[in-house]
Amino acid sequence: MHISSHCKEKIIKEKTLLVDVIFPTETEEGIQYELDELASLSDTAGAEVFGRITQRRIKADAAFFIGKGKAQSIVNKAKELRCNIILFNDELSPTHVKNLQKLAGDSIKIMDRTGIILDIFSQHAKTKESRKQVELAKLEYMLPRLTRQWTHLERQMGGIGTRGGPGETQIEIDRRLIRNQITKLKSELEKISRQRLTQNQNRKNAYKIALVGYTNAGKSTLLKVLTGEDVYVENQLFATLDTTTRRLDLAKELPVLLSDTVGFIHKLPHNLVASFRSTLSEVKDADLLLKVVDCSSLNFKNHLDTISKVMINITSRQIDYILVFNKIDNLRDVKQLNILKKLYPDAIFISAQKELRINNLLNKIIFKATQNNIETKILIPYEKSGFLDQIYSQINVIERKEGEFGFEFKISGKPERIDRLLSLLKKK
Ligand SMILES: Nc1nc2c(ncn2[C@@H]2O[C@H](COP(=O)(O)OP(=O)(O)OP(=O)(O)O)[C@@H](O)[C@H]2O)c(=O)[nH]1
Ligand SMILES: [Mg+2]
């Protein structure tokens, strides 16, 4: 696993002990997979895993999440292994964190899955927008979890208007500071998203494709192969946080845009999805999704599940898609490939890295992009020439003539788009 240089110092310091509770609906096998994934998250964040502990429970304990006795023994184990982080696979409630933290003392930090994901996002956020999105998610996560240890926030957030009114306790002051900062971030993000909307106006007529999939499935590698763009590819979780959109030259008269964006993961924190909503707008507005799956992973079925769940969170619209099974070069043998092909007859099997069978995918994209396209003629009266911009920005123009009554256009596109255009024309 790649570890970027700025994490190296952390690795020496941070040692994690992983903890997972097995509830009745979960299997031992599933839990091992989840712990492997939690270990990858810990590794990507720059902390080394020194042990794993599981406990079977009917339901979570109200005070400690696990039993109090077990909690104490985990803390002892962490001390024995010299771990400074106890990392829980589930999202802990503010009460759980408070109680567990009290038990663990100052030298050990209690963290949960959401916390470590947020930490990775902070490390990987590069642009102004993604940094603000991560900060927003972090503050929303922090707000209900404020305890006495969070003090002196003023110094970090400082400035005029941060001093508390009479009688406010430190925690109240901190909460108020955080709420103010959340409001500020939201309005800044709103502004950035409005700017993007204006920039995107001229992309309307393009057929829009978005890459979606589990983190590390190979989405960015595929964007690189399909468009020739040099994008960041790394064997780590959440290498990509910002959306990249590039032209994809498929055929004449077929403007296509391809977007790559942040990957999904099992139990992706809700407030992260919410704060990344504008980055994910390329997914929401896409005409076609390429659902990229690492089919060499033993857990690809769970990954498919996660994609569906996160998509429901992002949009209620059903978007047409192609199932892209990537990393076929990593499969054990041809037999395994054939089994998968039988199970998923509609999927396209490729290796983005080894550039295998990319043409199959391109053909299917062209088929989808031109499927049901119709050609038709429309007349724009001269007095409505203000409408010409909309024609060019929303549909493919094959021919334009100046006739007796107005501009005579020959256009092609999806019937829905043409209908939308005609009803706009009527209204004007
Ligand atoms: N063996 C194999 N490895 C691949 C293939 N495609 C991508 N990879 C590797 O998988 C890792 C992740 O690739 P990325 O393209 O960064 O994956 P991603 O889906 O963009 O991941 P995130 O941005 O982190 O969500 C990299 O080490 C790639 O080199 C493939 O077809 N075969
Ligand atoms: Mg990526």
Measure 55 CA to ligand 1 centroid, in angstroms: 33
Q: Which ligand is nearest to the CA of 238?
A: 1
Q: Which ligand is nearest to the CA of 236?
A: 1
What CATH architecture applies to the domain 205-370? 3-Layer(aba) Sandwich (3.40)
102, 64 in Cβ contact below 8 A?
no
pLDDT of residue 203: 64
Q: pLDDT band at 348, cuts 50/70/90?
A: very high
Percentage of the chain exceeding pLDDT 70: 89
Query: Is a pLDDT exceeding 50 seen at residue 151?
Result: no
pLDDT of residue 16: 96
Mutational pocket test of ligand 1: of 126, 353, 356, 361, the residue with most ligand atoms within 8 Å of the beta carbon: 353
Helix (H) or strand (E) holding 339, with range, is helix 334-343
Specify the amino acid at residue 122.
S
User: Whole-angstrom Cα distance, residue 104 to residue 303?
Assistant: 34
The finding on whether 41 has its CB within 6 A of some atom of ligand 1 is no
**Protein residue whose Cα sits closest to atom 25 of ligand 1:** 215
For 38, residues 6+ apart whose C-beta sits below 8 A from its C-beta are 18, 20, 87, 89, 113, 116
Q: pLDDT band at 158, cuts 50/70/90?
A: very low
**33-57 tens-digit pLDDT:** 899 999 999 999 999 999 999 999 9
For 85, residues 6+ apart whose C-beta sits below 8 A from its C-beta are 14, 15, 16, 17, 42, 47, 108, 109, 111
The finding on whether 326 has its CB within 6 A of some atom of ligand 1 is yes
pLDDT of residue 257: 92
pLDDT of residue 145: 83
For 13, residues 6+ apart whose C-beta sits below 8 A from its C-beta are 84
Alpha helices in 24-127 (DSSP H): 28-45, 68-80, 94-104, 113-124
Mutational pocket test of ligand 1: of 41, 221, 224, 329, the residue with most ligand atoms within 8 Å of the beta carbon: 221
Please provide the distance, in angstroms rounded to a whole number, between the alpha carbons at the two ends of the chain. Answer: 58
3-class secondary-structure state, position 228: coil
- Across-strand partners of 214? 264
Work out whether strand 109-112 and strand 207-213 pair parallel, antiparallel, or are unpaired: unpaired
User: Whole-angstrom Cα distance, residue 413 to residue 393?
Assistant: 12
pLDDT of residue 11: 43
Residue 189 has φ and ψ, to the nearest 5°, of -65, -40
**176-220 tens-digit pLDDT:** 999 999 999 999 999 998 887 777 655 667 889 999 999 999 999
The finding on whether 233 has its CB within 6 A of some atom of ligand 1 is yes
Residue 178 has φ and ψ, to the nearest 5°, of -65, -45
Measure 354 CA to ligand 1 centroid, in angstroms: 11
Return the CATH fold of 5-119: Rossmann fold (3.40.50)
User: Whole-angstrom Cα distance, residue 271 to residue 283?
Assistant: 18
Alpha helices in 81-218 (DSSP H): 94-104, 113-124, 128-142, 153-157, 170-200
Specify the amino acid at residue 88.
F
User: Whole-angstrom Cα distance, residue 302 to residue 297?
Assistant: 10
Tell me which of 85 and 204 has the higher pLDDT.
85
The finding on whether 261 has its CB within 6 A of some atom of ligand 1 is no
CA distances from 409 to 28, 201, 391, 401, 427 (A): 64, 21, 9, 7, 19
3-class secondary-structure state, position 54: strand
Q: Which ligand is nearest to the CA of 357?
A: 1
Q: pLDDT band at 13, cuts 50/70/90?
A: low
**307-343 tens-digit pLDDT:** 999 999 899 889 999 999 999 999 999 999 999 999 9
**Residue 216 CA, closest ligand 1 atom number:** 21
For residue 179, count other CB atoms closer than 10 A to its CB: 13
Query: Is a pLDDT exceeding 70 seen at residue 428?
Result: no
Q: pLDDT band at 7, cuts 50/70/90?
A: very low
Q: pLDDT band at 384, cuts 50/70/90?
A: confident
Please determine, looking at this structure, whether the domain spanning 374-427 carries the CATH number 3.30.70: yes
Specify the amino acid at residue 75.
V
pTM of the model: 0.84
Please name the residue that has the structure tokens 């895993």. 49
Query: Is a pLDDT exceeding 70 seen at residue 166?
Result: no
**Residue 232 CA, closest ligand 1 atom number:** 16
Mutational pocket test of ligand 1: of 44, 214, 216, 293, the residue with most ligand atoms within 8 Å of the beta carbon: 216
Measure 222 CA to ligand 2 centroid, in angstroms: 9
How many helices (H) and strands (E) the chain has is answered by: 16, 13
